Structure 1
Amino acid sequence: MTLSVPTGRAVDLRVQPVDEILDRVERSFQMSFDRDSVVRKRRSVGARTDRDTWVRIERRLLDKISPQGWNGTECAARLANISRPAWQGCVVWPDTDEAAMWRADETALLPGDPIGTAVLSEDPQLADAWWREFNASLDALAAQSTSRVATPDTEAITQDLVTGSILGAFPGGAFDTNVEQWVPAHADLNWANMTAPTFCLFDWEDWGNAPRGLDSASLWASSLAVPALADRVRRERHADFASRDGKLMTLFACSKILGPDAHPQDLRLEPARQMVEETVQDLQSD
């Protein structure tokens, strides 16, 4: 199936027809979807299969696929000591009418429900055991090695991107924006990509090396509408936030909240502004 949109434009799979795409993947994997379980997002569709697995299908523009490839979920299968769904296989094909690719990855089912949307407005009341497993998985991930480069929001994270994002949002900052430590990161860590009550981290499409603290800062930013939850993230990942790179990633995360597309009613705006002031002062005094 192809979708009739101008070349190079993104497709919103929440509104576009996807039945033929699901049919194609069923034939490729020789299984059937539970059509009542279909979850549609802007650039991905997922559903449960009749063999008790989950398939996530994504469409990505060619200019959003880096030279390292587009196989994050497959490559994450080699990561040890991390709570994540086991990868089963994939199928990839080109969109014949558009400059885009389709990819379907089959994984084991999640051990629980996703905690919520990417940005939470209520405290999920997570147990201490959940936080212990969360920390163990993030620490294990950062301790491993990879040649992959993280692609948050499908854009490779580089020193130039970090510097441009921070100084573009907060010009005049008299501090060094050079990253000291690059470590493996999930690169899309938010409350929609983790389960509870059993912890599991999924959607590994964009993982790779990133500045230390990217994941912690991203989750904190997703929690700012619930102050107690944001504070808990900072306590649990204190070592990341206390590091110089973690402070840079805090500014990087805040630049997305306070950027030109900021919504005036976003409850995260004021706490983000306050954190920017504190973090800039810390960096200037280092």
Structure 2
Amino acid sequence: MNAASVGHGAHSVDLRIQASDQVLGHVERSLRVRLNRNTVVRKRRTVGTRTDRGTWVRIERRALDRIGAQGWNGTECATLLEGVAQPAWLGSLVWRDANEPVMWRADETELLPGEPVGTAVLADDPGLPDGWWRALNASLDALAVQETRRVATPDTVTITQDVITRSVRGVFGDAFDTTVEQWAPAHADLNWANVTAPAFSLFDWEDWGNAPRGLDSASLWASSLAVPALADRVQRERRSDFESRDGKLMILFVCSKILGPDSHPEDPRLGPARRMAEKTVADLQSD
């Protein structure tokens, strides 16, 4: 795990199937902790596990060209946020891969207060109580009034006016203005795999930063579209975001990912996303 010079581009790796024993061993030695292999949770580019000291370690692999000028310390920087329910950050480890132009990062945090609600896209209503929704709203509202120089990187891509315009116009045309008026801090990866229940907590903060108003609300809504009642609940709870002009642009931004050239014909979100996008385009054209 020593540093090495950059060679060719980083290979695409899925950590759900890629062997990671060497990486886990490196983290154990460096953080002086034992990882519980029976609790490992694997995602496409992250691995998480409990430790023998009652904490959680999240390990991420990211290509150098996806890190950007602001660095790669979102979880660490999120410790400064006030009024946001999240596990406390305890320490980290960062190293450069010896064989590829990628970096690895391990963050140790408190254990989550509950289990993740589900996968990124839900197929069933989790039946969350009113108190859970109040906690979600309190954290998102508190996050939106923070100050930061960070810029959000949803899907590891820095969000800019140009990115928004190209994404939206590439799917919905150019018959309306795509200029964002209000930018505010956002988690930038808000989906059902990154929130807990029954106690609410928001985790995986690597991509947070300033983004157009309504990005988080639109992202959670898109994650809910296969369950109409749940998507409706998100809209009701975050009504002010959805009714704002920037919120409408964020609806189209997330819908562009569902309805764009990489869409899957059997995605249950296609119909609801298309109907909402048509209504939103009409609203923006009439402004």
TM over 0.5: yes
CA distance, structure 2, for counterparts of residue 276 and residue 193 of structure 1: 25
Q: Is the contact made by 2:36 and 2:51 (CA closer than 8 Å) also made in structure 1?
A: yes
Give the AA of the match of 1:247.
K
Does structure 1 retain, via aligned residues, the 8 Å contact 2:91–2:108? yes
Counting only pairs closer than 5 Å after superposition, residues 75-224 of structure 1 correspond to structure 2 as: 75-171=77-173, 173-224=174-225
Report the 3-state secondary structure (helix = DSSP H, G, I; strand = E; otherwise coil) of the residue aligned with 1:279: helix
What root-mean-square deviation, in Å, do the aligned CA atoms of Structure 1 and Structure 2 show? Answer: 1.1
| Contact persistence 1:10–1:61 (CA under 8 A) | no
Q: Map 1:195-274 onto structure 2 (within 5 A).
A: 195-274=196-275
Code of the aligned partner of 2:31: F
Greater than 4 Å deviation, 4+ residue runs: none
Q: Is residue 23 of structure 1 aligned with residue 25 of structure 2?
A: yes
Q: Is the CA contact (8 Å cut-off) linking 2:8 and 2:101 kept in structure 1?
A: no
Unpaired runs of 5+ residues, structure 2, are none
Quote how far apart the aligned CAs of 1:6 are: 6.3
- Report the 3-state secondary structure (helix = DSSP H, G, I; strand = E; otherwise coil) of the residue aligned with 1:193: coil
2:51 to 27, 49, 52: 49
Does 229-238 or 15-24 show the bigger shift?
Answer: 15-24
| One-letter amino acid of the counterpart of residue 192, structure 1 | A
Q: Give the number of aligned pairs.
A: 283
Matched residue type, 2:74 = G
Compute the displacement of 1:122 (Å).
0.3
- Residue of structure 1 equivalent to 2:277: 276
Uncovered stretches (5+) of structure 1, i.e. residues with no partner: none
Deviation at 1:99, TM superposition (A): 0.5
Q: Give the AA of the match of 2:206.
A: E
**In the aligned structure 1, how far is the partner of 2:212 from the partner of 2:66?**
20
SS of alignment partner, residue 223 of structure 2? helix
Once residues 18 and 233 of structure 2 are traced to their aligned partners in structure 1, the CA distance between those partners, rounded to angstroms, is 39
**Partner Cα separation in structure 1 for residue 265 and residue 61 of structure 2:** 31
